[in-house]
Amino acid sequence: MPRSAYDVIVLGAGSVGVPAAWAMAESGLSVLVLDPFASPGQGSNKAAIGGIRATHSDPAKIRLGLRSLQIARTWKDTYGDDIEWTTGGYSFVAYSPREERILKDLLLIQKRYGLDIEWYDRDGLLEIVRPLRPDGLIGGTFSPGDGHCSPLLLGHALYERAKGAGVEFHFGEAAASIEIQGGRVEGVTTSKGRYQTRVVVNAAGPWAADVGRLAGLEHPVRPDSHEGGITEPVAPFFGPMVVDIAPAPGSANYYFFQLATGQVVFCITPSPNLWGFDRRETSAFLPMVAGRMVRLMPTLANLRVRRTWRGLYPMTSDGSPIVGWAREVDGYLMAIGLCGQGFMLGPGLGELLARAVQGETTPEDDEILELLSPYRIFQGQETLR
Amino acid sequence: MTRIEGHPIVRKERGTPFTFTFDGKAISAYPGETIASALFAEGVRVFGHHPKDASPQGLFCANGQCSQCMVLADGFAVKACMTPAAPGQRVEPLDGLPRLPRIDRAPEPREPERKDVSVLILGGGPAGLSAAIELGSRGLDVLVVDDKDRLGGKLVLQTHRFFGSIDAVHAGTRGIDIAARLEGRVRELPSVDVWLDSTAVAVFSDGLVGILKGAVYALVKPRVLLVATGAREKSLVFKGNTLPGVYGAGAFQTLVNRDLVRAAERLFIVGGGNVGLIAGYHALQAGIHVVGLVEALPECGGYKVHRDKLARMGVPIYTSHTVLSANGTDGVESVTVAAVDKGFRPVPGTERSFACDTVLIAVGLDSVDEFHKAAAEFGLPVYAAGDAEEIAEASAAIFAGKIKGLEIARALEATADEVPAAWSRMSEILKSKPGPIVERSALDRYLEGDAGSVYPVLHCSQEIPCNPCTSVCPQRLIEIDETDLRRLPQFRGADARKACVGCERCVAICPGLAITLVDERGRGDPVVTVPFEFPSDRLTAEDRVVVLDDVGTPLGEVSVLEVKALAKNDRTALVKVRAPRDIAARIAGIRVQEPWTSQPLPEAVEPLGDDAIVCRCERVTAGEIRARIREGYRDMNEIKIVTRAGMGACGGKTCSALIQRLFREEGVALTDVTQNVRRPLFVEVPLGVLAGASSEAAGSRASAPARGKGAK
């Protein structure tokens, strides 16, 4: 018999909800995950391209990134599943003094947190990313410990672990209301039933604001629709995730890497932002991103694009996630506004959320929670989004 | 395997041959010939090996859609079925993943070519061309885009005479010639532009359509989109189903009828619809042995005249049978079939194997409807016609295109004409399924009283939309109910005031080769005229031939009196035989294939290979998919994540339908299954092309090599 009372109900079986549910179940809690899609990761997790890095510029994200990186990197050894992890590193390239300055400034912060990242001049970088266009290249950073894996496989592996730990998943079932009595969460109702709980975790990604309204709260999260693509597979020809932060009409930056299986995956950050839930393909994306990629790495000219898609980045105004308990409603925990980094931060964040629910946060957790507090003053923009 | 010389229907000027190399071996090719066809002509069927399991890879769709036939041409991975061979070219098998040739010089990106047009028609086949004629003749500016180097779609592979209405859809004319007629009409219209070698790759939400135009990426903005992209062949799951030598009828007809390559020595056909039956006939015409045909249903689904035609040539047709396996190591060496029970389950003990080198899968068609679906979802003005809308005969597509053309012209206010009611009715008739089979006794009745005279015998016993025989009789003695051309033709015979003059025109024009002429006027045994579409040197006077009745039962051996061609008979030869009176009227054909050809092997062959493949691109087996379904998976997107089925080059074109079928076989209703998301691109496009880089700048193919523009 399916139970109707749970310690925790997680709303969203995506990049954040699945690892959080798993970590909570591992800590002994009974967990139900509700998701309107038909299977896990069908919202934005499957739209992620798979990069995982610690080389952020925000200390909270650096810490969550380091832990997520460790989980992904050791996944196969620990659990046996091949998630196609590759420690290929990240390389941010500079072809103009603007990018050189930004990257070198960031390097100071990143070094301060002990990250393994260095600046390389033109010839040094060309040894690391051989097919880059040498012409005009100033140099760039390289962080060898970062990497990438298949978001589909890691997402699914996390899901299988969560199920194995006793998490219940209900797909095709969205929360219709969050029951609140006397200022605290009492349960969740869906079209299929009512479930008692004292803790609800909002892990609804781009739909986080809609879920918040069920609790009578307004969350400053709105989706920005990014477009990505994948090519045919070819023999390996470069290792790192290559990021070009030079702005150009239509895109603030773009990045690409070669999967362990040989395909090149690429994505842009649209500029101006494409706000909203529209995930339909646009005609502008491919010519724009192809022009940029082929100029940066001419060898790509003969590589065929296989598929494109769009994914929703749940953005906050300052580019950092919103994580923490609601002050207005007891038992309502937010893990929202991951700004497109749910996949790379989710595994580490999931563990932190479990400790938060158990009331066992570490001092480092508390520091992260303070930085990502829903009640912080939202200002500025993180440089490396 | 070799090239076909002296084809009875197709004439081709091959030009001067040249050589290229494959794996170091010299291969000869003719100008315009694809690498795939040239390799097949030399008997090469393994083009490379799959990176996952090193299984042999080769031609599958022959249509630029699937990427199974990739080879390395001068270092660049290309589709062998779409890339013309070039003199001196160095072609290598593609074993595993290709290396991307290094380029140092960055090309200067350019914006894609842009074009605004009133109507964009995707597909220059029967439906698209017919629509273009309606639209262009009303002065509307139209762009027709087609991925081949000539117009006509699959008509250019159809060497047989078409059924349908003479007036409405050129019935009685061969598909290849209908293509030329439609193209001629289109080329006369100044407002109709045609892009050949151009593949639509995506319909975007902003109303633009991305087109890979040779090696250029173009974005077209139409006011109205007409999707006339035809159909793709369904596949089938059985052991050995991806061995080189297993492919669809379309691929086979491309090799045989377009490129005149004898793609097989011994062919076995799976599927008794019109596609399979006609392909079998085309194979026989090309000098290929057709070992047999299996159909899972108790009756063939195709027109009875097509079925009978094949049976009369000496091809065994096994109804209530299915294919169990294609057997071989680097290619098909034999096929194993078995009888099926009412639930389509193979009956143990009925397995039989036949030696063959090719297994042709003709188990039906699915609409190529992704562009229409995308445009409809985006709320764009979009129409579909022909097989892209509904699977039917090409004759129906011709008429459907005409209707859609007029509807679009009305929608764009280029005309006030409404679609006439008679058109709609004709369209329905042309799309209709064949009717029941009429009893022989009812057919025989009209022959009474014709003894001693000359008269045609109409071996036509199933209602299908077809009327060419009524139009050619100078005496107007063959009639079909004027209100419905599906009715059986009737010879008015002795009750008519006029009499048959024995002109043989009805014999020559019948698309089903289902009319013979019996002449009892002379002394001695009657003379029977039988249509014959094989190389004329195959039969000469005084040859002894086995004659058969309409369903292929041998009636006896008779002597050929004469083999002749009528002045206007368009490549159908007429063979006169003298036959005893008791069989004369029952003779419907001459056997061309000896019975020994179709004998089974002494023992049934057990397949060597492992499980049947569902996703060809990623080599995912039916067993893997079934296991997931049994574990409870109901989202095809989740199956894709875990197995990779559908992630390959073709974009799930082949496996999606197969996975759905596995769900049904496992007892899961499709209403409980979430369909996988179909995403652009329709075919893969090089980044350099998308970037607008000129091919010189990229120093390479960059990419789809422009075939010699076949503008005619």
In chain A, what are the domain boundaries?
5-50+152-221+318-371, 87-145+223-313
Contact predicate B292/B320, CB 8 Å: no
As a CATH number, domain B613-672 is 1.10.10
* 3 state SS for B539-570: CCCCCEEEEECCCCCEEEEEEEEEEEECCCCC
Global pTM value? 0.94
Give chain B positions within 8 Å (CB) of A133: 104, 106
pLDDT tens-digit map of B631-653:
999 999 999 999 999 999 988 98
Number of A/B CB contacts below 8 angstroms equals: 172
Q: For residue B11, what pLDDT is reported?
A: 85
**Which of B100, B674, B679 comes nearest A303 by C-beta?**
B100
Query: Average of pLDDT values for B694-699?
Result: 47
* Inter-chain touch A283–B208, beta carbons under 8 Å: yes
- The radius of gyration of chain A from alpha carbons, rounded to an integer in Å, stands at 21
Residues forming beta bridges with residue B222, ordered by sequence position: B117
Q: What is the residue extent of each domain of chain B?
A: 15-101, 113-231+367-431, 440-598, 613-672
Q: In chain B, what residues touch A295 (CB-CB under 8 Å)?
A: 106-107, 109, 691
Strand arrangement of the beta sheet that strand A304-315 belongs to: A118-121, A139-143, A90-94, A241-244, A250-258, A263-271, A222-233, A304-315, B685-686
pLDDT tens sequence for chain A (385 residues): 456 999 999 999 999 999 999 999 999 999 999 999 999 999 999 999 999 999 998 899 999 999 999 999 999 999 999 999 999 999 999 999 999 999 999 999 899 988 999 999 999 999 999 999 999 999 999 999 999 999 999 999 999 999 999 999 999 999 999 999 999 999 999 999 999 999 999 999 999 999 999 999 999 999 999 999 999 999 999 999 999 999 999 999 999 999 999 999 999 999 999 999 999 999 999 999 999 999 999 999 999 999 999 999 999 999 999 999 999 999 999 999 999 999 999 999 999 999 999 999 999 999 999 999 999 998 766 555 5
Residues in chain B with CB shorter than 8 Å from the CB of A93 are none
Contact B103 A299 (CB under 8 A): yes
Nearest Cα neighbor of B43 from B25, B64, B60 is B25
Nearest chain A residue to B65 by CA: give it.
A306
Chain A residue with Cα closest to B209 = A283
Bridge-partner residues for B319, per DSSP? B295
Cα A234 to Cα A129, A259, B13, B121, B215: the distances in Å are 16, 10, 39, 34, 20
Considering CB atoms only, which of A302, A306, A308 is closest to B700?
A302
Query: DSSP for B241-302?
Result: TTSTTEEEHHHHHIIIIIS-EE--SEEEEE--SHHHHHHHHHHHHTT-EEEEEEESSSS-SS
Query: Among B95, B99, B100, B110, which would you mutate to test the A interface (most chain A Cβ atoms within 10 Å of its Cβ)?
Result: B100
Contact A281 B102 (CB under 8 A): no
Residue B243, pLDDT score: 94
Beta-carbon separation of B100 and A299 below 8 A: yes
CB contact under 8 A, A39 and B638: yes
B702·A134 Cβ contact <8 A: no
Digit-coded pLDDT (tens) for B669-695: 999 999 988 888 999 999 999 999 865
Q: Quote the pLDDT of residue B449.
A: 57
Q: Quote the pLDDT of residue B493.
A: 75
Q: What is the pLDDT of residues B288-312, one digit of tens each?
A: 999 999 999 999 999 999 999 999 9
Provide DSSP, B402-467. Answer: HHHHHHHHHHTTS--PPPPHHHHHHHHHHHPPP-PBPPHHHHHGGGTT-TTSEEEEE---B--SB-
The structure tokens listed for B44 are 């090469």
Spatial distance between the Cα atoms of A316 and A206, rounded to a whole number of angstroms: 10
Cβ atoms of A304 and B685 within 8 Å: the answer is yes
Q: For residue A261, what is the nearest residue in chain B, using CA coordinates? A: B97
CATH of domain A87-145+223-313: 3.30.9.10
- What is the separation, in whole angstroms, between the first and last Cα of chain A? 45
- Quick check: B687 and A303 CB within 8 A? yes
Stretch B45-58: mean pLDDT: 94
Cβ-nearest to A282 among B205, B679, B701: B205
Give me the CATH code for the B15-101 domain, please.
3.10.20.440
Q: Provide, as residue numbers in chain A, all residues whose Cβ is less than 8 Å from the Cβ of B104.
A: 133-134, 298
Q: Can you read off the two tokens belonging to residue B451?
A: 């003894």
Closest partner residue to A304 among B680, B686, B692, by Cβ? B686
Chain A: closest CA distance from residue B109 (Å): 5
List the single range of B57-66, B366-375, B402-411 with lowest mean pLDDT: B57-66
Mutant choice from A137, A163, A268, A304 vs B, greatest count of B C-beta within 10 A = A304
Q: What gap in Å lies between CA B287 and CA B538, rounded to an integer? A: 11
**For A5-50+152-221+318-371, which CATH superfamily applies?**
FAD/NAD(P)-binding domain (3.50.50.60)
Q: Mutate which of B67, B641, B703 to disrupt the A interface (most A C-beta within 10 Å)?
A: B641
Contact B107 A281 (CB under 8 A): no
pLDDT, mean over chain B? 91
CATH architecture entry for B113-231+367-431: 3-Layer(bba) Sandwich (3.50)
pLDDT at B442 over 80: no
* Cβ–Cβ gap B688/A290 under 8 Å: yes
Contact A290 B111 (CB under 8 A): no
Cβ–Cβ below 8 Å for B100 and A234:
yes
The yes-or-no verdict on residue B707 having pLDDT over 50 is no
- In this prediction, residue A284 carries a pLDDT of 94
| ipTM of the complex in this document | 0.94
Write out chain B residues lying below 8 Å of A268, CB-based.
none
**Rounded mean pLDDT of B77-83?**
94
- Chain A residues in contact with B208 by the CB 8 A cut-off are 283
pLDDT over 90 at B167, yes or no? no
Question: What pLDDT score was predicted for residue B66?
Answer: 86
Query: Any idea which of A152-166, B187-201, B532-546 has the lowest mean pLDDT?
Result: B532-546
